[in-house]
Amino acid sequence: MERTLEGKVIAITGASSGIGEATALLLAEKGAKVVLGARRTERLQSLSDRIEAAGGSCIWLEADVTQRNDLQKLVDLACERFGTLDVIINNAGVGQLSRIDELDVEGWEQMIDVNLKGVLYGIAAAMPVFLKQGSGHIVNVISTSGIKIVPTQGVYAGTKNAVRTITEALRQESAGQVRVTGISPGFVQTEMPNAMKNVTMKNAIRDTMESIAISPQAIARAIAFAIEQPADVEIGDLVIRPSVQN
């Protein structure tokens, strides 16, 4: 593996499974020092053990992205232990899919708190470091949900499209100092359905995943591609779908 990310310090939220986990493994293999956050600490510990056993550098922290201070602690940890932060990957997300007229208000709030406010808190924690050092990279994991609007994904897509809009505005504002990338995966084989409350949707998404989903490594490769570009090259938006996804 070419070590194109040698020494880069990269924080990843939602690193305990799926896309976040695959990204942590790949970036560490490419030489990055990864700083992992999620709520399931036993997962983070075993991922960290795997990365270190393979010769990589990894630290982790219990971090709930709905808590602004947890994102601050994650960024502080990177700076204290590795001296800086080069990239933050705002990846943590939940999908409480259901029709709007089912009025799953708690599910809406959870998606707004994790998918939207969690990303904003990540930006708020990393930005002062990036501005001070005159460089940095914000990578937001969005979704094809919202590029194509479908029933049962209204609020989920709403949170993702809010992040898409914020990502593009931030990219324009940053004018080269801070690079900004939006990553929009289609169906990816992960644990995402496990957290879904709506059993019909959970089973439907699991079925679709089983039949067409691509591996989380495909998204990890896209994230690595965006980060490993030279400083004057910014990858704005990448959409990575299964070839068969419509």
Contact residues for ligand NDP, defined by CB under 6 A: 13-20, 38-40, 43, 63-66, 91-95, 114, 141, 143, 185, 187-188, 190-192
Residue located via tokens 């080269």: 176
Token code pair at residue 90: 């705002």
Residue number with CB closer to ligand NDP (153 or 174): 153
What is the smallest separation between the CB atom of 223 and ligand NDP, expressed in angstroms? Answer: 11
Residue located via tokens 């399931």: 40
Active site residue 121: no
What is the smallest separation between the CB atom of 49 and ligand NDP, expressed in angstroms? Answer: 16
Integer angstrom CA distances of residue 50 from 72, 112, 121, 157: 26, 32, 28, 34
Q: Which of 60, 108, 156, 187 is catalytic?
A: 156
Residue number with CB closer to ligand NDP (15 or 75): 15
What is the smallest separation between the CB atom of 8 and ligand NDP, expressed in angstroms? Answer: 21
CA distance 240 to 223: 10
Residue number with CB closer to ligand NDP (143 or 167): 143
Residue 163: name the closest of 120, 106, 107, 220 by CA.
Answer: 120
What is the smallest separation between the CB atom of 173 and ligand NDP, expressed in angstroms? Answer: 23
Beta strands at 33-38 and 9-13: parallel, antiparallel or unpaired: parallel
Residue number with CB closer to ligand NDP (92 or 178): 92
Q: Which residues contact 135 (CB under 8 A, 6 or more apart)?
A: 86, 177, 178, 231
> What are the catalytic residues?
156
